[in-house]
Structure 1
Amino acid sequence: MRAYATAHLAFPLPEGHPFPLYKYRGVAEALKGLLPILPAPEVPKEALLLAHRPEYVEKLFAKGLSREESLRLGLPYSPALLRRALHAAGGTLAAALDALEWGLGLNLAGGTHHAFPDRAEGYSLFNDVAVAVAWLRREGFSGRVLVLDLDAHQGNGTAVFFQGDPSVYTLSLHGARNYPLKKERSDLDVGLPDGTGDEAYLLALEGALEWAAAFRPEFVFYNAGVDVLQGDRFGRLALSLVGVRRRDLRVFRFVKALGVPLVVVMGGGYNRDPHLTVAAHAETYRLALSSLA
């Protein structure tokens, strides 16, 4: 078993910018010694072209983003930003191939679920899960795929990628009044009120997993965002560390009962306490290993 990381990659940010670059190195450090952690490989351009619109991909490689497009993304465009996004998506693709071989794949990055086929949004340049699914399809995997998105924000880009695709079930459990303001339609959207705590969250998750089980998935991608924690700058939910642990354990029991491959991607986490963000993310990966490896 191994994990992929973008800890070796960074990009310039304005002073005080809220993007948590620190957590990618922090989680890799926290897991060191538990399993091999490899630099995430760069995703092949041909994989991007299987999922994203060719004109969008070519524009990124040739010109990057305009100022307006960078504002929508929430990050200043730079070649270093593009390079890191390529490796983050490559980590999810490599983890998906590991999952097919060993049952579990881990990317200590990814979960960039706000990227649309033709544009960047919400810190998301490429939709890593959509790219990985497209590559698996090209390589001959034809099974039913569940995208289980438990980030605090709706996976709007992911929903658009798979609308009308009966072989992929998109499930998003998120803050109803949170970003994005305009929600897209997933196969199952569960919007939660601001301040939702452990018990109400876990009850909603239980019902959502019942719907997901009826789909009979044969491969699962889990966006394990920890922006659901109380104190997150953008999450607006109120789970405790114990609540996040219970969430993750429930997901891993669900996947174990299915007996299907699982990929875990990091998703969001912007807690006012950086140590809490790192600790919560690292615990998700430890639980995945102890539950499924």
Structure 2
Amino acid sequence: MVKVAWHPLYAHPLPEGHRFPMLKYELIPEQLLHEGLITEQHLFAPEVLNEDVVLLSHDKNYWKQLRYLTLTAAEQRRIGFPLTAQLLERELRIAQGTVDGALYAKQFGIAFNVAGGTHHAGSNWGEGFCLLNDQAIAANYLLDNGLASRILIIDLDVHQGNGTAEIFYDEPRVFTFSMHGDRNFPFRKERSDLDIALEDGLNDEQFLDKLDGALSELLKHEPDFVFYLSGVDVLESDKLGKLALTKSGCKERDNMVLQFCKQHNLPVQVSMGGGYSPDIRDIVEAHCNTFKVGLDIFE
């Protein structure tokens, strides 16, 4: 049975001006249940991630600042919202959901996290609404426990996975691939193993052609596990994305990645990533399409 990580704290209310993006974390599971794509048995509520697992990916001093809520005002501004104990708990549950999802993916082929994709968090910093890097944490957990030997991270959020690239810069067992807007946040990019920078206004055909070419190259790493970040901020409707993908193009992107995983017998954990279209229905539909594609391919 395909498992989906979700916890009520995912929709943690933030200060005014930050609440709208959190709505999707309530609406995605509601929509999936409404359409009969999943049942309550598919959902699981992750616990709080253990400190020892955090420290496989993040610097000890940075973790202490998070744990004791001592980040400076400037560091909190870089993250994008005030640091609170409840916000930290939310991030720890999201990261545990991705760790658990990776274990479920090894059992069932695929697993999802309704949240996650916190790829701007580096080893010793938080940035862009990301405190802890959920997929980096889960990748290091698999490696540390001998549950994977060569991992591929496919990041198709419109923003570069700069934190992921930094964490794994000197780790040959993890291949980081990011396909992102060239002139979009973060404006100081890190170096992934493979970066494809996209020009503004790129359409479905152009995007999918570049992705098709990249996927064949990724097999050279000989991965035995995949993490997929499926941000929907690539949509033309997204107010931050600057690309021009339709919802059908975004769905085909997911189909290409997940068919690639299925074809090569690669278990895959999927985290949702960004989405900032003004109409919440566009965000929820595009994210739910990712689940639909995955369920069609793997169930």
TM-score by structure 2 length?
Answer: 0.94
State whether structure 2 residue 191 is matched by structure 1 residue 185: yes
CA deviation string 1:198-224 (max 9, x = no partner): 000001101111211222211000000
Corresponding residue SS for 1:50: coil
CA deviation string 1:46-97 (max 9, x = no partner): 1101111111112211134221111100112111111111111111011011
8 Å Cα contact 2:6-2:113 kept in structure 1: yes
Work out the CA distance in 2 between the residues paired with 1:40 and 1:27: 17
> What's the CA shift for 1:17?
2.8
Of the candidates 241, 255, 267, which is equivalent to residue 273 of structure 2? Answer: 267
Residue in 1 that maps onto 2:21: 20
Q: Report 1:62-211 matches (<5 A).
A: 62-211=68-217
CA deviation string 1:214-269 (max 9, x = no partner): 22211000000000001112111110011011111111111111101100001111
Residue in 2 that maps onto 1:287: 293
Of the candidates 256, 263, 266, which is equivalent to residue 262 of structure 2? Answer: 256
8 Å Cα contact 1:41-1:94 kept in structure 2: no
> What's the CA shift for 1:16?
2.5
> What's the CA shift for 1:12?
4.2
8 Å Cα contact 1:64-1:78 kept in structure 2: no
8 Å Cα contact 2:164-2:176 kept in structure 1: yes
CA separation of 1:19 and 1:88: change in aligned 2, threshold 3 A: farther
Of the candidates 48, 58, 69, which is equivalent to residue 64 of structure 2? Answer: 58
Moved more, 55-64 or 166-175: 55-64
TM-score by structure 1 length?
Answer: 0.96
CA separation of 1:127 and 1:230: change in aligned 2, threshold 3 A: same
Q: Which amino acid aligns with 1:168?
A: V
Q: Which amino acid aligns with 2:115?
A: A
Residue in 2 that maps onto 1:241: 247
Work out the CA distance in 2 between the residues paired with 1:16 and 1:117: 28
Q: Which amino acid aligns with 2:141?
A: W
8 Å Cα contact 1:8-1:25 kept in structure 2: no
Work out the CA distance in 2 between the residues paired with 1:114 and 1:98: 25
8 Å Cα contact 1:8-1:39 kept in structure 2: no
Corresponding residue SS for 2:184: coil
CA deviation string 1:103-156 (max 9, x = no partner): 212111100000000110111100011111111122112421000000000000
Give the fraction of aligned pairs with identical amino acids, expressed as a percent.
43
Work out the CA distance in 2 between the residues paired with 1:40 and 1:202: 34
Gaps of 5+ in 1: none
State whether structure 2 residue 1 is matched by structure 1 residue 6: no
Q: Which amino acid aligns with 1:165?
A: E
What's the Cα RMSD here?
A: 1.3
State whether structure 2 residue 236 is matched by structure 1 residue 230: yes
Residue in 2 that maps onto 1:278: 284
> What's the CA shift for 1:28?
1.1
Work out the CA distance in 2 between the residues paired with 1:18 and 1:236: 22
8 Å Cα contact 1:114-1:157 kept in structure 2: yes
8 Å Cα contact 1:104-1:262 kept in structure 2: yes
